[in-house]
Amino acid sequence: MNRSEGLVRRVKTRDTDSNGGGGGSSSSQYGDAENKNEQEEELEDCDSKETRLTLMEEVLLLGLKDKEGYTSFWNDCISSGLRGCILIELGLRGRVELERAGMRRKGLCTRKIILKSDTPTGDVLLDEALKHVKETDPPETIQNWIEYLSGETWNPLKLRYQLKNVRERLAKNLVEKGVLTTEKQNFLLFDMTTHPLNDNVIKCRLVKKIQDSVLTKWVNDPQRIDKRMLALILLAHASDVLENAFAPLNDDDYELAMRRVRELLDLDFEAEAAKSNSNEVIWAVFAAFTK
């Protein structure tokens, strides 16, 4: 698979800068280029006090249409992407890890994921996945777990590992946190529960945080990028929702942001995972999506 395939594209038409320029800062609704330092301080302060979202919730929020309250019917990537989010969340919270590479230096895609701690996380989806990992012997690879949790396996004995109604359960979490609301919509042949955006501030903050991470706060070293933000960027790409965060940017910023994401996708994940202070689960999930 070409890691950067399909990256540089525009999904929706938007107005170009009315003032005539493609400058170096975003002209979107998600941030004013002036007083940037002051805004960043405000955002960081709000982020420490306001609603905290999991990786799964952030990826789903990026994928949901604001007014309609559902993900694109054409997006067939978000299901597995959300399972990747779950595995990385467990890795970031110290619940799972990769087995040792061994003398022969096993690759990330062949190393098994093993239980590190069975302490509940307090999140129902994470704890359900953690329970499956704990009960599985012998252990399985990251790739296998993504397939099992998605229900995309040909092995009928593994179907019991499927996490069902993940998008709906995540949406309900976001409703409880006040980010979304719940409505019923009629689609001629059937009724569907939808979850339109209720709190635009939180989504705007999420979008601006992603934009800033590849523009104003770019450090050109993946080991210095916040692990959670690095995971969010690449999992949003794997889920085919990253475009939604970059589409409001002006043309120059859009091209720059996409070029930097391509740089991340073209990294040697094996080499990055081998570096000190690296979380191997994160890089193993990336490898599973880009192999």
Segment 124-132 shows an average pLDDT of 96
**Residue 101's pLDDT band (cuts 50, 70, 90):** confident
What 3-state DSSP class applies to 197? strand
**Residue 26's pLDDT band (cuts 50, 70, 90):** very low
Mean of per-residue pLDDT scores for the chain: 84
Print the SS3 string covering 61-74. Answer: HHHECCCCCCECCC
Q: What is the pLDDT of residue 177?
A: 94
**Residue 28's pLDDT band (cuts 50, 70, 90):** very low
Radius of gyration of the chain (CA): 19
**Residue 10's pLDDT band (cuts 50, 70, 90):** low
Segment 13-39 shows an average pLDDT of 43
pTM of the model: 0.81
Nearest to 215 by CA among 10, 19, 30, 18: 30
Question: Torsion over CA of 162, 280, 44 and 205, rounded to 10 degrees?
Answer: -40
Segment 197-216 shows an average pLDDT of 94
Segment 252-281 shows an average pLDDT of 95
Burial 38-51 (b: 16+ CB within 10 A, else e): eebeebeeeeeeeb
Q: For residue 29, is pLDDT > 60? A: no
Contact predicate 283/269, CB 8 Å = yes
CA pair distance 253, 246, nearest whole angstrom: 9
Residue type, 174: L
Strand pairing class (112-115; 191-194): unpaired
Q: What is the DSSP string of 34-56?
A: TTHHHHHHHHHHHHHHS----HH
Residue type, 17: D
Q: For residue 50, is pLDDT > 70? A: no
Q: For residue 17, is pLDDT > 50? A: no
